[in-house]
Every structure is written in C-alpha cells, then in structure tokens.
Structure 1
C-alpha cells in the first residue's frame, strides 16, 4: 500500500513540474503606457535592426523582423497582441516557443519572426521570443 502511495505522489509531482515548465502568456499585470515603455540595450545580440509597429506597413511580405514591446493580450489560442511605442501588431506564437518563459503584460519582450500579410491584415509569425 505504501509503495502505491509513493508512486501516486511521484506521478503527481512529475505532472505539476511539467505543467509549470510550459510557460506562456499570463494576462495578470498592467502594460505600461506606450510612451513609458522601457528602452535601451537588453541583451538582443542578433544584430538585426529593431522594427517598430508603425513601420511594418512599409515592409514587404515575408520579411524577417525583430521587434521589442509588451504582449498586452491573448486573442486566440496562439495569437497575441504586441504593443510598442508606435502601435500594435498581431503575433502568432507556437506553444513550443515559450520554452518555459512566463510573460505578463508589464514584461518587455523581444520577438523575431516573419511578417505575413493576408486580406489587408498584418501578422508576425514568431520564430523566437525572449523576455527582457
């Protein structure tokens, strides 16, 4: 009987540890106003120029982009709204990309991905996300 209890305890402990490692967006938190967003060097070392949401309209489809801002809300299973100092853009972030990171609206993040256009709407297909 005690061996069975031990195995149940081990199973539940493993389940809760794996659930905590998932990461993702946590809607609890208040994003800063656009003019108050943090700026400056925060360990983005890929050398790619950071793009603001206001300039995305001028960039061709399927262009690689790097952006910095706050994810302010989730709007779908893998769709999120990123706000920077110039505006907002929709992101598509696959669950595997979170890599255990938990991101709240008041956390500054860097995202790297590809700009996609469809029916007059823009979306960044994210390939990497980093909490700064």
Structure 2
C-alpha cells in the first residue's frame, strides 16, 4: 500500500525538469523564436564576463572570464600560453574541453573559464573553447 505514494512522488520529481524547459530572459537582445535550439532558455545579449588578459590578471580567484585571442604555445600536456595583445596568461585545458577542434597559433579562439589564483601565479581553468571565425 505504501508503494503507490512513493512511486507517485518519484514520478513527479523525475517529470518536473521536463515541464521547466521553457523560460529565460525576454527583453532587448533576447531570441524570441521557439525553435528546438532555444527551448532551454537563458540569456542572449552582451556578456559582462568578456574581458582582456590584462584585466584577468587582476581578478580574484574563481572569477569567471571570457577571453578572445590566440594560443601561442603548449607548455605541457594541459597548459598553454595565451595572448590577446594586452598580455599573456596560462590556460589549463583538459583533454575533454577540446571537443575535437584543432587550433594553431594563427587561429583566434574564445575561451571561457575561471581564474585559478595560486601564491605566485594566475591561470585560467578553461571550461569551454571555440574557434572564432
């Protein structure tokens, strides 16, 4: 007898995210189409996290940044030197973040990640990387 309420509760918890797929920001710059790509919701507009290397070097630990520039060389298996013309910073990019793209020093990329500040260094722990066309 107690199994029925438990099954109903579990079904409601599993189905809740399905009903919450619509939503997000509707205002200046928002995408208003209802195509399958936009069902997830969210914000579409200017990004306040986009910054330069010079500014990123001054940010505190765990600050989110978006940088645009070039990866100029590989330092070891997951560390790379990045520049955008305002300075250089080390990127930590794990293998799974590459998503099959190949990048050369002449390719312009956009990296998103968080600042990882140690005693005497700062680097960006990259969560996403993409080529800029």
Verify same fold: TM over 0.5. yes
Moved over 4 A (4+): none
Structure 2 partner of 1:128: 128
CA distance in 1 between counterparts of 2:129 and 2:57 reads 22
Question: Secondary structure of 1:119's match?
Answer: coil
Larger radius of gyration: 2
CA distance in 2 between counterparts of 1:114 and 1:92 reads 10
CA distance in 2 between counterparts of 1:51 and 1:121 reads 18
Structure 2 partner of 1:71: 71
Structure 2 partner of 1:98: 98
Report the count of equivalent residues.
89
CA distance in 1 between counterparts of 2:97 and 2:46 reads 17
- What are structure 2's unaligned runs of at least 5 residues? 1-44
Structure 1 partner of 2:84: 84
Structure 2 partner of 1:35: none
Say which structure, 1 or 2, has more relative contact order (CA 8 Å, 6+ apart): 1
Deviation at 1:46, TM superposition (A): 7.3
Deviation per CA, 1:10-34: give whole Å up to 9, x if none: xxxxxxxxxxxxxxxxxxxxxxxxx
Deviation per CA, 1:20-58: give whole Å up to 9, x if none: xxxxxxxxxxxxxxxxxxxxxxxxx77244211111232
Pick the structure with more strand per residue: 1
TM-score (norm 2): 0.63
Deviates more, 1:50-59 or 1:74-83: 50-59
Do 2:89 and 2:124's aligned partners in 1 also have CA atoms closer than 8 Å?
yes
Question: Secondary structure of 1:55's match?
Answer: helix
TM-score (norm 1): 0.63
